[in-house]
Amino acid sequence: MKLNPLVSQLALSDIDNTPGVAADVSHVNSRAEVAGYVGEEQLEKALEGCDLVIIPAGVPRKPGMSRDDLFNINAGIVKGLCSAIAKYCPTALVNMISNPVNSTVPIAAELFGVATLDVVRAKNFYTEKAKINVGDVNVPVVGGHAGITILPLFSQATPKANLSEGDIKVLTKRMQDGDTEVVEAKAGKGSATLSTAYAGAIFADACLKGLNGVPHVVECSFVQSTVTELPFFASKVRLRKNGVGEVLGLSSLSEYEKNGLESLKPELKASIHKGINFANQS
């Protein structure tokens, strides 16, 4: 975000270490002024005046854990931060990165869940398989952000490549297990952080472009939705001055994708209700 020319002020907030990180990042010679804030008592200062808040807070996974295993810790952290946002910068757009995104977004509606990491992976894996230039590739990813709820729409990928049904099944499975590939390779030292930061920065840039009135900014995001019968769903959204200007439909799906869509619904529905119930209880 320090490199993004649309950022004038960058406020970093965490439970410790932020002054050091802020001093370090502030030496990068780009436009944004950087400040570090520590703890809940400085949250008000950190949030005041923000147009966009990015939440990557919480704990990462260890091998053998699912994203849902993070719910008990991360849901409380997210709820605290969202309450502070509602108080100190209620008109800000909020990008939710903290897992399980399928449940943390419903905890505080009106947010964008960052599904860009799935799009980043889909573009990369598709490029490798189709042997085309990564810069030109686009692949929508819909549903949610966990296991089978991640549904890449390779039938809508551009440029078109002649992949077999078998190739598409292998790519889809790799997408759905992309998180585990990293968790296992890190062998107990966390989950994807660098590719997550890259994806978060791309999505935040799209939000800032939307806020600045740039036309035709479209990204996939997990948002409140009527695209299916589920109250939250990831699909393409058009970003405008007020945030989500329009939630776009699914277009035409292959038989394989239609089956994938029906199979993901029960799991996604349960994760959404877990978040909604948590928000209502506490």
Return the active site residues.
Answer: 145
Q: Is 117 in the site for ligand LMR (CB under 6 A)?
A: yes
In whole angstroms, what is the distance from residue 116 CA to residue 227 CA?
18
CB atoms within 10 A of CB 82: 21
Q: Which stretch binds ligand LMR (CB under 6 A): 12-20, 27-35, 37-45, 59-67?
A: 59-67
Q: Return the range that interacts with ligand LMR (CB under 6 A); candidates 190-198, 234-242, 252-260, 274-282.
A: 190-198
Burial class for 88, CB neighbours closer than 10 Å (0-12, 13-18, 19+): middle
- Residue 38 burial by Cβ neighbours in a 10 Å radius (0-12, 13-18, 19+): middle
Among 13, 98, 127, 196, binds ligand LMR (CB under 6 A): 196
Nearer to ligand LMR, 93 or 192 (CB): 192
Task: Give the residue ranges of the annotated binding site for substrate.
Answer: 61, 67, 99, 121
By the rule CB under 6 A, 192 interacts with ligand LMR: yes
CA–CA dist 184, 200 (Å, integer): 22
Which CA distances in Å does 126 have to 100, 161, 179?
25, 9, 17
* Residue nearer to ligand LMR on the CB measure, 67 or 236: 67
**Biggest distance spanned by C-alpha atoms of the chain:** 56
Could you tell me which residues are beta bridge partners of residue 232?
224
The interface region with ligand LMR, picked from 134-142, 191-199, 237-245, 259-267 by CB under 6 A, is 191-199
Q: Rule CB under 6 A: is residue 74 a binding residue for ligand LMR? A: no
Q: Does 141 bind ligand LMR (CB under 6 A)?
A: no
Look up residue 205 and give its amino acid. Answer: D
Which residues in this chain contact ligand LMR in the complex, by CB under 6 A?
Answer: 60-61, 67, 99, 117, 178-179, 182, 191-192, 196
